[in-house]
Amino acid sequence: MRKCSLDKLDLLLGEIAKSNELYLPVDDSDGSAVYKKWEKGTALSDALNTVRSPKDFFFPQTENLMEFKMQGKNIEIIDTRSELEDFVIFGVRACDVKSFEILDRVFLSEPVDSYYAMRRSHGVIISLACTRPAETCFCKTFGIDPASPSGDISAWKTESEIFFEANNEKGEALLSSLGALLQDCDNEAVEAQKAKINAIMDKLPLKNLTTEGFGGGKTAELFDDPHWAELSEACLGCGTCTFVCPTCQCYDIKDFNTGNGVIRFRCWDSCMYSDFTKMAHGNNRLTQKERFRQRFMHKLVYYPENNDGLFSCVGCGRCLAKCPISMNIVKVMKTIGGDKGE
């Protein structure tokens, strides 16, 4: 384990930025936190989490896939991708790190999504333990420890120092490149920090939320539960929950005629929209209840059934904070799951 005093953090970040594009959470003008490219003097935000997750770095909201140039009957297909520079994402919380594993199972399974894979290969993730978990946090429900985040490098911040531990070769290579800016140390301060974080987690209102009653093989039992109609009645179908969610992976592919060819691009989509997956024959989910049910059944039943029991939620709490009518996965779990453990 290695450490650096906080008054030298700017020097450390500058050293990382010499050979990598560096991004970290910073305070925005409205008081929220967003990921921005580091520049000298940029201060690391103390916010628990960013409004939007770091999913954008690997699966951006919009991206061009290819271009088509047409001359008569001849069509030229142009790959619009360019080689990415190596980049580092600093300050990723444990819940968001876990979301990458969920996305990896979607985009890195055969056939591999080469756009996503290229970004993953160039990125280094430095996670940061949560010193002040919020009342909306329930990551432990899904087996995530906010005091011991994973990633290529794990970090812990105290009042005066920041500690680092490499978790793989990519992480070790980055830490070794920082030379004298880091000092070897024991893990006594880190263990004390972990104890403080876990003590806070044990006092949070959602600490007893459980996945009991959900998981693979529950489709027949839960699909026709009468509570779906009641829960979905107030849903606006605005899609806010899907756009702040670090694990949602739905997208649409569209073609845009520029007048000088065609650009094919993809953009995030939402299962909460009435035209989601709409085809020539119409839409296979005609009501808001059906769309609402699809979102949460995918998170809690369909995904774990096809991914070794791994749930497609990381308990980050963004949907709790941002839903305009306060309808979220916690209410679904308590209602459909019979309020077990609460």
Residue 97 lies in a domain: yes
Give the per-residue pLDDT at 337: 81
**What pLDDT is stored for residue 273 in this prediction?**
83
Q: Is the pLDDT of residue 162 over 70?
A: yes
Q: State how far the Cα of 199 lies from the Cα of 192, in Å rounded to an integer.
A: 11
Same domain membership, residue 188 and residue 232: no
> Does residue 230 lie in a domain region?
yes
Tokens of 82: 């360019």
Report how many domains make up the chain.
2
Secondary structure of residue 259 in the 3-state scheme: coil
pLDDT tens readout for residues 298-341 = 999 999 999 999 999 999 999 999 999 989 999 999 999 865 44
pLDDT one-digit tens code per residue, 251-288? 999 999 988 899 999 999 988 887 776 666 665 667 88
Task: State both tokens at 193.
Answer: 């920090």
Return the pLDDT at 275. Answer: 74
The kind and range of the H/E element at 22 are strand 21-27
Same domain, 143 and 286: no
Judgement on whether residues 171 and 234 belong to the same structural domain of the protein: no
Q: What is the mean pLDDT of residues 87-109?
A: 97
Q: Residue 210 domain-assigned?
A: no
Residue 29 token pair: 């003008």
The one-letter amino acid at 230: E
Report pLDDT for 280.
Answer: 61
- Asked if residue 152 and residue 23 are part of one domain, the reply reads yes
* Cα end-to-end distance, the chain, whole Å: 38
Q: Which band of pLDDT confidence, cut at 50, 70 and 90, is reported for residue 73?
A: confident
Both 195 and 228 in a single domain?
Answer: no
> 21 and 51 in contact (C-beta within 8 Å)?
no
Average pLDDT of the chain, as a whole number: 92
Residue 340 confidence (pLDDT):
45
- CB of 95 closer than 8 Å to CB of 315: yes
Compute the distance between CA of residue 9 and CA of residue 11 in angstroms, rounded to an integer: 5
pLDDT at 124: 97
- Read off φ and ψ for residue 149, nearest 5 degrees: -70, 150
Residues 299 and 331 in one domain: yes
Domain of residue 225, residue span: 219-248+270-336
Average pLDDT over residues 213-229: 94
User: pLDDT-based confidence at 39, cuts 50/70/90?
Assistant: very high
Is 180 in the same domain as 292? Answer: no
Residues in the chain: 342
**pLDDT at 82 (0 to 100):** 79
Are residues 178 and 227 located together in one domain of the fold?
A: no
Q: Which of 246, 318, 332 is nearest to 289 (CA)?
A: 332
Tokens encoding 115: 């756009």
Residue 30 domain flag? yes
Structure-token match 């690997």, residue found: 58
DSSP string, 226-241: THHHHHHTT-----HH
Exposed e or buried b per residue across 245-282, where buried means at least 16 C-beta atoms within 10 angstroms of its C-beta: bbbbbbeeeeeeeeeeeebebbebbbbbbeebeeeeee
Beta bridge partners of 33: 27
Residue 276: the pLDDT is 76
Question: Based on the domain organization, do 54 and 172 belong to the same domain?
Answer: yes
Torsion angle of the four alpha carbons 8, 13, 18, 19, in this order, in degrees rounded to the nearest 10:
130
Rounded Cα distance between 199 and 191, Å, is 12
Q: Lowest-confidence range among 1-5, 81-85, 204-208, 288-292? A: 81-85
138 and 280 share one domain? no
